Amino acid sequence: MGIKITATGHYLPPQVVSNDDLAKFLDTSDEWIKKRTGISQRHISAGENTSDLAAKAAENILRKRGISGEEIDFIILATMTPDASSPSTACIVQEKIGATKAFCFDINAACSGFVFALSTACHFMRSGMYKKGLVLGAETMSKVINWEDRSTAVLFGDGAGGLLLEESDVDSFVAEDLHSDGSRFMALTADEKKVQNPFLSNEQNEDKQYLKMDGRGIFDFVIRSVPKTINQSIENGGLEKDDISWVVAHQANIRLLEAISKKVKIPLSKFATNIESTGNTSAASIPVLLSHMVDSKQIDIGSGEKLLFTGFGGGLTWGSIIITI
């Protein structure tokens, strides 16, 4: 049994925050942010939580496919900013979109979350047990950002995107290559919860709510590891680099995409990008970008082009998956 992508969709909260808006309360500038990251603006939630963004992206997907939530067999949602530890954000989305027959759960692999979720969904679908699965990436990064820390506050944005996988006689899944390295977990942390109960012998430190990132360390890790996973997934699929029509990479920094392109020897023109208008939306960045590409007719569903999705981020986690669209 095979899979195919039959619809994409996204939702970005309407409030747009420009670099100049940030420079009003942070010691930063439009020039610094654009030059170091390629970001001009980001969408920031005015109160909508991760499940609200994800449900709107899901409704966008269902509308484009012309089906109702009741036809969905499962929802897998990638996020590092869930509404709560329980229930899963996927279950809240289930309720919002009326996906009454679906089983639902979240995946947390930080900015690699969508690639890991897509891989999981592909393997569920290829078991032949399910007909339709929604794969979503959704984040409200704005709730874990320290808005007084210019080194991280300028990088992130909020949003949600996703795609619908359906069963198919012809299999669109080509190959994958996934990795984690927990020994470097301290490179990116957020919303750390300490044990708090009446039976503690020692006082625990306070929770660390805010995102902390070793930006330079992550930059070096990405340049070393991401070209390798791109090459490995191409090799696993028995393909040549020229067979890949588009690299749909996590949108963290335009300089990272340039460096990856150079190292992997795939022209930058094959790296899709929308970071300029969205910032880094973590697990949402790849599906939002894919949805932008489909909406703008940069790619057509059913065209037979090979897309290489590659994600990287906290954990550390990184990986690639190749799918024919």
What are the catalytic residues? 111, 250, 280
Distance CA 15, CA 47 (A): 10
Nearer to ligand ACO, 133 or 159 (CB): 159
Lookup: tokens for 231: 């090459």
- Measured N-to-C along each axis, helices 30-37 and 254-264 cross at an angle, to the nearest 10 degrees, of 20
**Residue 131 or residue 147: which is nearer to ligand ACO going by CB?**
147
- Beta pairing partners, 168: 2
Figure out which of the listed residues 160, 218, 247, 248 binds ligand ACO, where binding follows CB under 6 A: 218
Q: Does 32 bind ligand ACO (CB under 6 A)?
A: yes
| Contact yes or no for 176/134 (Cβ under 8 A) | no
Q: Among residues 89 and 94, whose Cβ is nearest to ligand ACO?
A: 89
- Both tokens assigned to 72: 């969905």
Among 222, 244, 249, 323, binds ligand ACO (CB under 6 A): 222
The structure tokens listed for 292 are 């932008």
Total residues in contact with ligand ACO, by rule CB under 6 A: 23
Mapped onto helix, strand or coil, the DSSP state of residue 297 is: coil
Nearer to ligand ACO (CB atom), residue 114 or residue 130: 114
Of the candidate residues 18, 67, 219, 239, the single one contacting ligand ACO (CB under 6 A): 219
- In angstroms, give the least distance from the CB of 256 to ligand ACO: 6
**Single residue of 67, 105, 215, 232 touching ligand ACO by CB under 6 A:** 215
Stretch that binds ligand ACO, among 30-38, 197-205, 229-237, 289-297 (CB under 6 A): 30-38
Cβ-proximal residue to ligand ACO, closest one? 313
CB of 116 to ligand ACO, least distance (A): 12
Q: Which residue has the tokens 């047990």?
A: 129
The set of long-range contacts for 300-304, using a CB threshold of 8 Å and a minimum separation of 24, is 300/325, 301/5, 301/6, 301/7, 301/8, 301/325
How far apart are CB 62 and ligand ACO at their closest, in Å? 28
| Distance (Å) of CA 37 to CA 125, 155, 257, 274, 315 | 37, 8, 10, 12, 22
Minimum gap (Å) between residue 141 Cβ and ligand ACO: 7
Helices (H), 24-174: 30-37, 50-65, 89-97, 113-126, 150-153
Nearest-approach distance from CB 301 to ligand ACO, in angstroms:
28
Determine if 34 is a binding residue for ligand ACO (CB under 6 A): no
Mark 251-290 with x for binding to ligand ACO (rule: CB under 6 A) and - for no binding: -xx--x-----------------------x-x--------
Q: Are 273 and 243 in contact (CB under 8 A)?
A: no
| d(C-alpha 225, C-alpha 170), whole Å | 32
Minimum distance between the CB of residue 38 and ligand ACO, rounded to whole angstroms? 10
Q: Tell me how far, at minimum, the Cβ of 61 lies from ligand ACO, in Å.
A: 24
Out of 117, 154, 264, 288, name the contact with ligand ACO by CB under 6 A. Answer: 154
Burial class (CB in 10 A: 0-12, 13-18, 19+), 242: exposed
| Cβ-based nearer residue to ligand ACO, 287 or 313 | 313
The Cα 144–Cα 22 span in angstroms is 16
For residues 249 and 129, give the distance between their C-alpha atoms in angstroms, rounded to a whole number: 30
- Site for ligand ACO (CB under 6 A): which residue of 8, 19, 28, 320? 28
For ligand ACO, the binding residues (CB under 6 A) are 28, 32-33, 36-37, 110-111, 150-151, 154, 188, 215-216, 218-219, 222, 252-253, 256, 280, 282, 313-314
